[in-house]
Amino acid sequence: MGNRLSKIYTRTGDDGTTGLGDGSRVPKDSARVAAYGTVDEANSAIGLVLACPLPGDVHALLTTVQHQMFDLGGELCIPSHAAIEDADVERLEQQLDHHNETLPALKDFILPGGGEAAARCHLARTIVRRAEREAVTLSRHDAVRPQAIRYLNRLSDLLFVLARVLARADGHGEVLWHHERRGR
């Protein structure tokens, strides 16, 4: 890290703009800022999952994901910067397969819940989905590498599977949606 921040506020954003990693300034409500801001929000939500007691392999995996999410935020903040690679997406897929193989096949929709860690994981999943949508929106008018979008897509899938794993590990079990309750 080149420069250290000795002062947190700069007043440069008081006009409604913010600086990108390449030094250019854009409106704070631009699609690029929304995309990397939501990646940051998702990373914070993953931090909430990590604040819960977790199986060691899940804790290690999510810690690695947090570092990659920081890299991804940097990629989105610096136009034409590359940080997420195909191998990162492939590792998520391997983890998805590994954690999913122990779970029973889905026959019903699952409601967010199943204990604190699982519920936090579901929240992180939905924020990652929003980050993915915002990255797609950005890609419609500015360059976004496909690896970034694929990474977010796989990460949301992984968080869904991990929520299922955590619901079972906590002993709460998954909360199934009962569609027949409406009595149609």
Instruction: Report CA dihedral (139, 147, 28, 120) to the nearest 10 degrees.
Output: 120
- Which pLDDT value is given to residue 182? 60
| Backbone dihedral angles phi then psi of residue 16, each to the nearest 5 degrees | 90, 15
Rounded to 10 deg, the angle between the 31-50 and 116-139 helix axes is: 160
67: which residues sit within 8 A by CB, 6+ positions away? none
pTM given for the model = 0.93
Q: Is pLDDT at 6 greater than 80 in this prediction?
A: no
Q: Residue 77's closest CA among 37, 45, 47?
A: 37
Which pLDDT score is estimated for 180? 74
Q: Which of 13 and 85 is assigned the larger pLDDT?
A: 85
Upper half-sphere CA count for residue 148 (Cβ side, 13 Å):
31
pLDDT at 181: 61
6's tokens: 């000795």
Tell me whether strands 110-111 and 175-176 are parallel, antiparallel or unpaired: antiparallel
Q: What is the share, in percent, of the chain residues with pLDDT greater than 90?
A: 85
Q: Determine phi and psi for 111, rounding to 5 degrees.
A: -85, 150
Mind listing the pLDDT tens digit for each residue in 93-152? Answer: 999 999 999 999 999 999 999 999 999 999 999 999 999 999 999 999 999 999 999 999
39-57: average pLDDT: 97
For tokens 């309750």, name the residue.
181
Provide the mean pLDDT of the chain: 94
User: With 60 as the cut, is the pLDDT of residue 184 above it?
Assistant: no
